[in-house]
Amino acid sequence: MQDSYDVVIVGGAVIGSAVAYFLTANPDFNGSVLVVERDPSYVKASTSLSSSSIRTQFSNPINVKISQYGSEFIRNFADVMQVAGEDRPDLNFHPGGYLFLANTAEGEQTLRENHAVQRACGADVVLWDQDELARAFPHLRTDDIRIASYGQSGEGWFNNTGLMYGFKAKARAQGAEYVTDEVVAIGRDGAQVTSVTLKSGAVIQAGTVVNASGPRAALTARMAGLDVPVEPRKRTLFVFDCAKTPEGSAQVNQGRLPLMIDPTGVFCRPEGRFFLTGCPPVEDPAADWDDFEPRYEEFEEIIWPALAERSEAFEAIKVVNQWAGHYDFNTLDHNLIVGRHPEVTNFVYANGYSGHGLQQGPAAGRAVSELIIYGQFRTLDLSEVGYERIVQNRPFLEKAVI
Ligand SMILES: Cc1cc2nc3c(=O)[nH]c(=O)nc-3n(C[C@H](O)[C@H](O)[C@H](O)COP(=O)(O)OP(=O)(O)OC[C@H]3O[C@@H](n4cnc5c(N)ncnc54)[C@H](O)[C@@H]3O)c2cc1C
């Protein structure tokens, strides 16, 4: 490790590693990159505890385009990220699609409005009435459903840690350095950050500091005397076995079942021969940094009743595993914050993904690299999700938050 780097990235999970990859992949960048990661086992990183799904069904064109790029990147990942002499990093993308269900007039209007935005962006999403839905997925109870929105391609789920480790391996092969340590202080001289201090005692001079510290983003910003409205919010996922699996009853997408979002907010998707499920929490306080205790009661009280109501097949199900992870939750508007601090311009945020950071990793990593190399976005303009809106208390509008 040197004592000075052009770019120091705080956090080396999916976002930090995506930034390191895109910087070092760009022929216009010839600087040095250090990624500091406090826990290279990643056992508590949001990246490892994620449900690892990607959708284009958002209400804001920027989010649709971010995921369209993510989807293309994930599909081509093995070819682009192959490191000589290593296994192909195939992410095992399952293009199952998302299926949103609406049972109220308001819900129907939202799905129709979102659909118009998605189609204008070229997303492969269709709206179905009750009969079409019943034909496509005969195991679902549809009599209360007014409309369904289904992603025919470009949506599904994939290997979450594969995405992170693929970025990391390629970034290292391209010259990025990783160190196992914790950033405990950030030096600042007026409108510039100047260095990071590591727990081991090392002080590293930094040309630019990137905040990629996930749910701990606010702790990192505070070290530089700055702020970001991100806090850890607990989400519990359950894996269940199903005695009478509906798999195979699907009439679309080569018989695959989708990631269904019930009108109750409960979601459910296949996970190998099992199913993965979760629900929005009833109460959602900031979690303690080290509290990863699952909210076991959510399955009995919220998830199972909703699933059993939606499909006879889900009446007899049994939990086989569960875990809790932390959303990197943006309390202003539940959306990513990607951009420089307006005054301390060599401090770059890549935070606040609030449940979308895996699928947004490729676009966010590329965007941060462009800001650092060119001083502006070159491909997808992410100015609308920059830090300025935080200062101005101007929420970015996205209706399709899960
Ligand atoms: C239950 C759950 C389900 C989810 N489902 C989806 C989904 O279906 N689709 C989707 O796209 N997204 C989903 N997400 C969100 C997604 O997983 C996250 O947004 C994304 O992983 C964030 O990546 P990150 O690299 O910013 O944060 P993390 O993965 O948390 O990584 C941050 C890293 O920074 C390190 N770090 C922190 N502070 C320091 C420091 N001071 N010094 C050194 N290192 C530090 C940490 O050790 C950690 O490894 C889900 C998240 C959860 C919890």
The DSSP annotation for 145-165 comes to: -SEEEEE-SS-EE--HHHHHH
pLDDT digits (tens, 9 = 90+) for 176-201: 999 999 999 999 999 999 999 999 99
Nearest-10 Cα torsion for 109, 115, 120, 123? 170
Alpha helices in 13-152 (DSSP H): 14-25, 61-75, 77-81, 105-120, 130-136
What CATH number does the domain containing 212 carry? 3.50.50.60
Beta pairing class for 4-10 and 203-211: parallel
Domain boundary among 328, 353, 376: 328
Answer yes or no: do 247 and 114 share one domain.
yes
Domain boundary among 328, 357, 375: 328
**Tokens 């391209």 found at:** 174
Nearest CA-CA partner of 92 in 52, 121, 130, 64: 52
Please choose from 46, 57, 93 the residue to mutate so as to test ligand 1's pocket, defined by most ligand atoms within 8 A of CB: 46
Phi and psi at 45, nearest 5°, equal -65, 145
Q: Which atom of ligand 1 lies nearest, measured to the CA of 47? A: 21
CA of 289 to the centre of ligand 1 (A): 13
Angle between helices 160-173 and 357-374 (to 10 degrees): 20
Q: Whose CA is nearest to atom 4 of ligand 1?
A: 50
**Cα-trace Rg, the chain:** 21
CA of 14 to the centre of ligand 1 (A): 7
Answer yes or no: do 380 and 258 share one domain.
no
Q: Is 77 among the domain residues?
A: no
Cβ distance 224 to 193 under 8 Å?
yes
pLDDT of residue 72: 97
Q: Which atom of ligand 1 lies nearest, measured to the CA of 351? A: 26
CA of 128 to the centre of ligand 1 (A): 34
Please choose from 22, 47, 195 the residue to mutate so as to test ligand 1's pocket, defined by most ligand atoms within 8 A of CB: 47
Please choose from 17, 37, 50, 55 the residue to mutate so as to test ligand 1's pocket, defined by most ligand atoms within 8 A of CB: 50
77-84 long-range contacts, Cβ below 8 Å, gap at least 24? 77/162, 77/163, 77/166, 81/21, 81/166, 81/167, 81/169, 81/170, 83/169, 83/170, 83/173, 84/173
Q: Whose CA is nearest to atom 16 of ligand 1?
A: 357
Answer yes or no: do 187 and 324 share one domain.
no
| Domain hosting residue 111, numbered range | 94-150+232-328
Q: Whose CA is nearest to atom 12 of ligand 1?
A: 356
Answer yes or no: do 9 and 46 share one domain.
yes
Answer yes or no: do 176 and 324 share one domain.
no
Furthest-apart CA pair in the chain: how many Å? 65
CA of 11 to the centre of ligand 1 (A): 9
How far apart, in whole angstroms, are the C-alpha atoms of residue 141 and residue 310? 5
Number of domains in the chain: 2
Q: Is 88 among the domain residues?
A: no
What is the side-by-side strand order in the sheet with 230-242?
125-128, 147-151, 98-102, 259-261, 267-271, 274-278, 230-242, 317-330
Q: Which atom of ligand 1 lies nearest, measured to the CA of 212? A: 26
Answer yes or no: do 380 and 350 share one domain.
yes
| Dihedral angle sign, alpha carbons of residues 330, 332, 335, 339 | negative
Residue stretches of the chain with pLDDT short of 70: none
How far apart, in whole angstroms, are the C-alpha atoms of residue 307 and residue 115? 25
Residue 297's Cβ-count burial label (10 Å; 0-12, 13-18, 19+) is exposed
pLDDT of residue 254: 85
Answer yes or no: do 241 and 137 share one domain.
yes
Q: Whose CA is nearest to atom 20 of ligand 1?
A: 357
Q: 165: which residues sit within 8 A by CB, 6+ positions away?
A: 89
CA of 249 to the centre of ligand 1 (A): 35
Q: Which atom of ligand 1 lies nearest, measured to the CA of 157? A: 8
CA of 214 to the centre of ligand 1 (A): 5
Residue 255's Cβ-count burial label (10 Å; 0-12, 13-18, 19+) is exposed
pLDDT of residue 183: 99
CA of 23 to the centre of ligand 1 (A): 20
What CATH number does the domain containing 106 carry? 3.30.9.10
Answer yes or no: do 182 and 299 share one domain.
no
Q: Which residues line ligand 1 (CB under 6 A)?
A: 10-11, 13-16, 36-39, 42, 45-47, 49-53, 182-183, 212-216, 220, 235, 237, 325-328, 353, 355-359
Q: Which atom of ligand 1 lies nearest, measured to the CA of 326? A: 53
pLDDT of residue 144: 98
Q: Is 86 among the domain residues?
A: no
Domain boundary among 274, 303, 328: 328
List, in sequence order, every residue forming a beta bridge with 166; answer none if it has no partner: none
pLDDT of residue 74: 97
Q: Whose CA is nearest to atom 10 of ligand 1?
A: 356
Q: Is 289 among the domain residues?
A: yes
Answer yes or no: do 102 and 142 share one domain.
yes
